[in-house]
Structure 1
């Protein structure tokens, strides 16, 4: 793929992005969403660089501190969401073909699942490891170190590193969260959540190190356990959302808080057609965009033409950019089941 394709998502000869339902990858996004996606990609590269530096410093200063160990492991985990995001957005550039007729939009969902599983697994490890340390009453030694010829308590150096480590996630997490809704990107949302956990865990680790300094050795393991609960919460929430999307659950908002309002909007738009008596949609979240199966009952026994279906298909896609792939299915009646009536 040449430079024009890589940066704009357009065709190989610089043509404008197609406006048909067959457009895929970045071509399925309006120009505003492409601009937001480019910004998100830049933020993720910055996140990778900042996190790599933070992990290196934390490993160097960890010693036998359980809280510092938890902090660098969580920061290492924070590399997964941006990596998964960058791989996914590159993969969705590929166009549909015989083996992947729906395109590759669900790469976003796969990336969400990968990050969620890793987050949940490592949260479990940290909880068990920290609890065992607390039960065994293992007191982590934090001694003195020589800096420029002066003896300094190593805890102060740990705290300085942790303060440096919490600053980028605090800033970048807020910047990413602002992009998640307009882009409808759940991986980016999970990453913003992870950034929140990062700076929160660094704060907890600072408390743990200070606890060691004043003789409360259990503060260290207690802080690590607190961090692990934060990881488990985020991992569980994101795992449920990822599995819902990949198993064709009803499309929900970017934060999985509720069913997406677009479902009701496109059903109302279909019913506005004078030849439609009733209409109900099944909507799947493909990543950034939705796949819609619109079941319509013709009014007053009218015959349905291909032109009418095509016009309705175009009208539904005009409701919102996320309505990407639409199938119109004329039926005699809508089944009165929970699968259709939510």
Structure 2
């Protein structure tokens, strides 16, 4: 399955998230108004930002699926990362709003306990989001979509947030009224933390940052291939959910062109099989004779 097919399947997971978030956000906000729950309202607003974020990711995936053109010879894969970056700003704004709204309510001694209906609603939607999480995680593993894997992690955190909302509302039934706004405050902090994590990851990728531990794993994989005498240099960068690797390998200077090319084919095959990387740019250089003798 090529990278474009993977992106197309990733769109299916984004659609599932969008429909689930729309249903959950509308239900939570409506019940929060009826039950007077700050925590459930914060949870519903969190899901509303997830709708916008999922739509942004969906748009990014659709743009990323466009083939290379004259202005984009490497394709449009980074549109996926840019859309996630936009989503992080939206989540940041809502997170700040939820936190600032929860503080006055927490300090209000006359704040009344919400109806337990809010708690059961939160628990019901938590079950839904755990189901969405399992679906998207399975799809991400099958398609090797890092964007969908990140989305599934967000699905899981939303389910955990809803469980926290349930605990806050349930605690308020025992005259611990401060638990409901406290749960809203914690939900706001979780939104801010998620926004920061997405922002940090996106900016790291857009500036061609790459995990050095993973780069070392790529080096070890290539070094273990028969015919590769040494690795002169290796670099990698992200293009959306794809990884592009540039490597300089040293081979026996007595090899002919066909034999050298055979080594590059082995590298490409191994990288695809072990690391699911489809794009490897390989530059071949003859190893210095003294190095060859030492090896």
Q: CA deviation at 1:306?
A: 6.8
Write the distance in 1 (CA, Å) between the matches of 2:9 and 2:178.
Answer: 43
Query: Could you tell me which of 26, 47, 54 is aligned with 2:24?
Result: 54
Does the CA-based 8 Å contact 1:309-1:328 persist in structure 2? Answer: no
Alignment match, 1:268: 223
CA contact (8 A) 1:123 1:232 kept: yes
Partner of 1:203: 163
Q: Is structure 2 residue 271 aligned with structure 1 residue 320?
A: yes
Asked if 1:89 is matched to 2:61, the reply is: yes
| Cα 1:268/1:161, change in 2 over 3 Å | same
Matches within 5 A, 1:64-213: 64-137=36-109, 139-140=111-112, 142=114, 155-213=115-173
* Greater share of helix: 2
Q: SS where residue 271 of structure 2 aligns?
A: coil
Structural mapping, 1:211-250, within 5 Å: 211-250=171-210
SS in 2 for 1:281: strand
Deviations 1:110-155 (A, max 9, x none): 233233333344333322332233235461564xxxxxxxxxxxx1
Change (3 A) 1:162 1:188: same
Q: 1:278 to 1:72 in 2, by over 3 A?
A: closer
Q: Secondary structure at the match of 2:214?
A: coil
Instruction: Indicate conservation of the 8 Å contact 1:193/1:234, yes or no.
Output: no
SS of 2:248 mapped into structure 1: strand
2:242 aligns with one of 277, 281, 289: 289
Separation in structure 2 between the aligned mates of residue 309 and residue 129 of structure 1, nearest angstrom: 65
Q: 1:305 to 1:88 in 2, by over 3 A?
A: farther
**Structure 1, 206-215 or 69-78: larger mean CA deviation:** 206-215
CA distance in 2, matches of 1:313, 1:126: 54
Tell me how far apart the structure 2 counterparts of residues 105 and 226 of structure 1 sit (CA, whole Å).
35
Q: Contact (CA 8 Å) 1:251, 1:285: kept in 2 or not?
A: no
User: 1:316 Cα deviation (Å)?
Assistant: 2.5
Greater relative contact order (Cα < 8 A, sep 6+): 2
Shift of 1:60: 1.5
Contact 1:71–1:205 (Cα < 8 Å) also in 2: yes
Post-superposition Cα deviations, 1:226-265, rounded to whole Å, max 9, x if no partner, equal 212322333333332222211111257xxxxx52565124
Q: Runs of 5+ in structure 1 lacking a partner?
A: 1-25, 143-154, 253-257, 334-342
Change (3 A) 1:314 1:188: same
Deviations 1:53-91 (A, max 9, x none): 221122222224211221111111222443233223322
C-alpha distance in 2 between matches for 1:112 and 1:320: 27
RMSD of aligned Cα (Å): 3.2
